[in-house]
Amino acid sequence: MENNNISESKVFFSYLTNPKIKFETYEPTEKIILLVRSHPFTQIYWIINVFVMLLFIFVVNSVIINYFNYAQILFVNIFAVFFILSYIWFNFLNWYFNVGIITNKRVIDIDFFNILYKEITVAQLDKIQDVTTKSGGFIEAFFDYGTIFVQTAGTEANVEFANVPMPAQIVQIINNLLAKKHGH
Amino acid sequence: MDISQFFNFFYSRSLLDIIFKIIVICLSLFYLLYSFIISKQVKIMDKSLHDEFNFVIFAVCSIQTTIAFILFIFSIFFA
Are A22 and A88 in the same domain? no
Contact with chain B for residue A78, Cβ under 8 A = yes
Q: Given an 8 Å threshold on Cβ–Cβ distance, is A118 in contact with B44?
A: yes
How many domains does the structure of chain B reveal?
1
Does residue B49 fall inside a structural domain? yes
Does residue A122 fall inside a structural domain? yes
Does residue A3 fall inside a structural domain? no
* Pick among A20, A68, A73, A89 to test the B interface (most B CBs inside 10 A): A89
Measured distance CA(A93)–CA(B42) in Å, rounded: 8
Q: Given an 8 Å threshold on Cβ–Cβ distance, is A79 in contact with B27?
A: yes
Residues 27-56 of B with CB under 8 A from A: 27-28, 31, 34, 37-38, 41-42, 44-45, 47-52
Are A109 and A165 in the same domain? yes
Please give the average per-residue pLDDT across A31-56, as a whole number. 96
Does residue B64 fall inside a structural domain? yes
Question: E-assigned strands of A1-70?
Answer: 8-10, 15-17, 21-23, 32-36
ipTM score assigned to the predicted complex = 0.85
Are A147 and A88 in the same domain? no
Q: Over the stretch A47-71, which tens digit does the pLDDT of each residue have?
A: 999 999 999 999 999 998 888 888 8
Name the average pLDDT for chain B.
88
Measured distance CA(A79)–CA(B75) in Å, rounded: 11
Q: Over the stretch B38-63, which tens digit does the pLDDT of each residue have?
A: 999 999 999 999 998 899 999 999 99
Q: Given an 8 Å threshold on Cβ–Cβ distance, is A99 in contact with B50?
A: no
Lowest mean pLDDT segment, chosen from A133-137, A165-169, A173-177, B62-66: A133-137
A23 CB neighbours in chain B (<8 A) are 48-50
Does residue B51 fall inside a structural domain? yes
| Whole-number pLDDT of residue A2 | 46
B68 CB neighbours in chain A (<8 A) are 82
Contact with chain B for residue A23, Cβ under 8 A = yes
Measured distance CA(A23)–CA(B4) in Å, rounded: 68
Please tell me whether residue A110 adopts helix, strand or coil conformation.
Answer: strand
Lowest mean pLDDT segment, chosen from A1-5, A32-36, A108-112: A1-5
Contact with chain B for residue A115, Cβ under 8 A = yes
CB atoms within 10 A of CB A147: 17
| Whole-number pLDDT of residue A34 | 95
Amino acid at A18: N
Are A22 and A110 in the same domain? yes
Contact with chain A for residue B57, Cβ under 8 A = yes
Contact with chain A for residue B72, Cβ under 8 A = no
How many domains does the structure of chain A reveal?
2
Domain of residue B30, residue span? 22-77
DSSP chain B: --HHHHHHHHTSHHHHHHHHHHHHHHHHHHHHHHHHHHHHHHHHHHHHEEETTHHHHHHHHHHHHHHHHHHHHHHHHT-
Are A104 and A161 in the same domain? yes
CB atoms within 10 A of CB A114: 8
Nearest CA in chain B to A21: B51
Are A23 and A110 in the same domain? yes
CA dihedral over B40, A14, B56, B72, signed as positive or negative: negative
A155 pLDDT tier (thresholds 50, 70, 90): confident
Chain B nearest-CA distance from A21, in A, is 5
Are A80 and A16 in the same domain? no
Q: Given an 8 Å threshold on Cβ–Cβ distance, is A115 in contact with B41?
A: yes
CATH code of the domain covering residue A171: 2.30.29.30
Domain of residue A72, residue span? 44-93
Partners of A119 in the β-ladder: A111
Please give the average per-residue pLDDT across A6-22, as a whole number. 88
Are A73 and A125 in the same domain? no
Whether the per-residue pLDDT at A1 is higher than 70: the answer is no
Domain-ending residue, one of A93, A109, A129: A93
Does residue A66 fall inside a structural domain? yes
Whole-structure pTM value: 0.89
Does residue A2 fall inside a structural domain? no
Are A115 and A159 in the same domain? yes
Beta-sheet pairing, A159-165 with A145-152: antiparallel
CA distance between the termini of chain B = 28
HSE (side-chain half, CA atoms, 13 Å) at A109: 19
Does residue B14 fall inside a structural domain? no
Does residue B17 fall inside a structural domain? no
CB atoms within 10 A of CB A93: 19
Are A21 and A105 in the same domain? yes
Please give the average per-residue pLDDT across B17-25, as a whole number. 91
Are A49 and A64 in the same domain? yes
Q: Given an 8 Å threshold on Cβ–Cβ distance, is B45 in contact with A71?
A: no
CB atoms within 10 A of CB A173: 20
Please give the average per-residue pLDDT across A90-113, as a whole number. 95
